[in-house]
Structure 1
Amino acid sequence: MKISIGNDHAGPEYKKAIVAMLESKGYEVTNYGTDSVDNVDYPDFAHPVATNVEEGKADFGILICGSGNGIAMSANKHQNVRAGLCWIKEIAALARQHNDANIVCIPARYTSIQQAIEIVETFLTTDFEGGRHQNRVNKIACS
Structure 2
Amino acid sequence: MRVHLGSDHAGLELKDHLLNWLVDAGHEVVDHGPFVYDALDDYPVFCLRAAEGVAAERAEGLDSLGVVIGGSGNGEQIAANKVQGIRSALVWSEETATLAREHNDANVISVGGRMHTLEEMTRFIELFLATPFPGDERHVRRIGQLATYETEGLLPELPASALQGTAPDAEDA
8 A contact 1:10–1:37 mirrored in 2: no
Corresponding residue for 1:88? 93
Runs of 4+ in 1 over 2 A off after TM superposition: none
Distance apart, 1:38 and its partner CA:
2.4
1:62–1:137 CA distance, 2 compared to 1 (3 A): same
Corresponding residue for 1:99? 104
Aligned residues: 143
Corresponding residue for 2:133? 128
Deviates more, 1:82-91 or 1:36-45: 36-45
RMSD: 1.2
Q: Larger C-alpha radius of gyration, 1 or 2? A: 2
Larger RCO (alpha carbons 8 Å, 6+ apart): 1
> Matches of 1:53 and 1:100 in 2, distance apart?
13
User: Identity of counterpart residues, as a percentage?
Assistant: 38
Distance apart, 1:109 and its partner CA:
1.2
Tell me the TM-score normalised to structure 2 length: 0.79
Does residue 138 (structure 1) correspond to residue 144 (structure 2)? The answer is yes
Match of 2:81 among 53, 76, 79: 76
Distance apart, 1:37 and its partner CA:
4.6
> Matches of 2:78 and 2:12 in 1, distance apart?
20
8 A contact 1:99–1:133 mirrored in 2: yes
> Matches of 2:87 and 2:20 in 1, distance apart?
25
Structure 1 alignment gaps of length 5 or more = none
Q: What amino acid is aligned across from residue 91 of structure 1 in structure 2? A: T
> Matches of 2:17 and 2:93 in 1, distance apart?
17
Distance apart, 1:89 and its partner CA:
1.6
> Matches of 2:2 and 2:121 in 1, distance apart?
19
